[in-house]
Structure 1
Amino acid sequence: MYVTRLNEHVSPQLIPQPVKTSTVTRLHRVAEGKHLFFEGEEAGNIYRVVSGVLRLTRLMEDGRRQVIAFGYPGDVVGFPSDGQYHTDCEALRPTTVVVHNRAALESSTGDAALHASLLQAALREISAMQDHFLMLGRKSACERVASFLCVLADRVGTPLGEFTQFDLPMSRSDIADFLGLTTETVCRTFTQLRKRNVIALDRIYTVIVLKPRDLFALAEGEASCN
């Protein structure tokens, strides 16, 4: 999951579509805190998330970390770069994935429909990544955090009367490394949104969106957190 451009009503093209399984696939479960794969490993499989949440990260030579994306149900992860995984992938919650073997997919007897579905998933990822880069380069800290919360509300939010509720399986530092901000800035922005009654927090890992239109306006730069 990337932070993409937002519409007040989410476009179906931005929601990952399910990938059909076949005889060359299997289910695999990843315990919380365990890795599905590491950067630089041979990319023998591609994975579709069925349940749980994954975090994809890269480390720079000086130890700084960038969170590349979060894998939610319906997302496909593990697309190779020169035959290797280009990120680490760790489970933030107990996660189940469908495993698609690359060699079987690329053989002449591979499932053509499955191959086409995975191609569409890769194209959606590229499009979403481009939107994410635009957000990193042009949006303010408040707009980035609001955009992140809007996308999660749309993807995994549960109606709670006239509000929307969702859990945050990632830490504030994960969010910061995903949005190109400091942890302090993310925490401060959450506090600003809470004080304005745009959101409420149940402890620190559950967000309740109280004013979705206001949150959307903040994400689009039509309002200010201050």
Structure 2
Amino acid sequence: MYVTIPSEQLSNAQHIRPAHKRTASITKVFKAGSNLYYEGDKVERLYQVQSGVLRLTRILEDGRRQVISFGFPGDIVGFPCNGRYHTDCDVLTDARLQAYHLSSLEGENGDPELHKELLQAALREISAMQDHFMMLGRKSAIEKVASFLCVLTERMSAESGSRNQALLPMSRSDIADFLGLTTETVSRTLSLLRNSGIIAINNVHTVVILQPHVLFGLSQGHGMDQQSLARAC
């Protein structure tokens, strides 16, 4: 999940055929807190998220962490780099995953239709990643957090049962490491949005969007900046 992925791509990302039509795939269930794979492990399977949330991270040599992305239902994770996973992948909430062995893409017994579908998924990921990099470099803190909440609301609406409720299975530090901010900035920005009446925070993992059009405007840079929002509270 990248915060700038368009709505039409979100729906298209879930168009891989159902598992019962795939002889080369198996369903696996992982508990929250478990690890799916580590950076540098040999890639043997790709995974499509059916339910739950994953976290993809990389650790710098000095110990600093970057959250690369989150895996939500419909997303595919595990694309190889020189035959190896290029991130760690942890399970944030209990997850059900469809696992596709690489042998289903290779050799005479490979599934050409599956190969085509996964290629399209990889191309969508590259496009969304490029937009995400632009967001990291050009958007303000308020725009980043607003963008993140807008996409979470859309991606997690089926889980929450509401189009105006964003579930946050990740911690504030996860959000900060994903958006290139400090944990304090994320918490302060969420408080500003709450105090301004744009969102309500039911608990640490649930945000209700009270003014979705205002939040979307902020995500696009059409609203107040963080200092103006603070003065208005």
TM > 0.5 between the two?
yes
Distance, in Å, in 1 between the alignment partners of 2:33 and 2:107 is 34
What residue is the counterpart of 2:182 in the other structure?
Answer: 182
2:154 is aligned with what amino acid? D
Identity %: 54
Alignment deviations for residues 24-71 of structure 1 (CA, whole Å, 9 cap, x no partner): 100111111000100000011100001100000000000000000000
CA distance in 1, matches of 2:91, 2:111: 28
| CA deviation after TM superposition for structure 1 residue 17, in Å | 2.0
Structure 1: segments with no counterpart, 5+ residues: none
Residue 153 of structure 1 aligns to a residue in which SS? Answer: helix
Q: CA deviation at 1:14?
A: 3.8
Cα RMSD after superposing both structures: 1.3
Letter in 1 for 2:168: L
Structure 2 unmatched runs, 5+: none
Amino acid at match of 1:19: I
Q: Distance in 2 between matches of 1:174 and 1:150?
A: 17
> Which residue of structure 1 aligns with residue 118 of structure 2?
118
Find the counterpart in structure 2 of residue 194 from structure 1.
194
Show the counterpart of 2:155.
Answer: 155
> Aligned partner of 2:9: which letter?
Q
1:222 partner letter: H
Q: In terms of mean alpha carbon deviation, does 20-29 or 47-56 score higher?
A: 20-29
Code of the aligned partner of 1:128: A
Larger RCO (alpha carbons 8 Å, 6+ apart): 1
Tell me the distance in 2 between the aligned counterparts of 1:5 and 1:219.
Answer: 13
Alpha-carbon distance, 1:159 to partner: 5.9
Could you tell me which residue of structure 1 aligns to residue 27 of structure 2?
A: 27
Shift of 1:13: 2.3
Confirm or deny: 8 A CA contact 1:14 1:124 kept in the other structure.
no
Q: Is the 8 A contact 1:45 1:101 kept in 2?
A: yes
Residue 13 of structure 1 pairs with residue 9 of structure 2: yes
Normalised by the length of structure 1, the TM-score is 0.94
Q: Distance in 2 between matches of 1:112 and 1:28?
A: 23
Aligned residues: 220
* Deviation readout 1:176-202 (Å, 9 max, x if unpaired): 000000000000000000001110011
Q: CA deviation at 1:104?
A: 2.5
Higher helix share: 2
Which aligned segments of 4 or more residues in structure 1 are displaced greater than 2 angstroms?
157-160
- Give the match's secondary structure for 2:46: strand
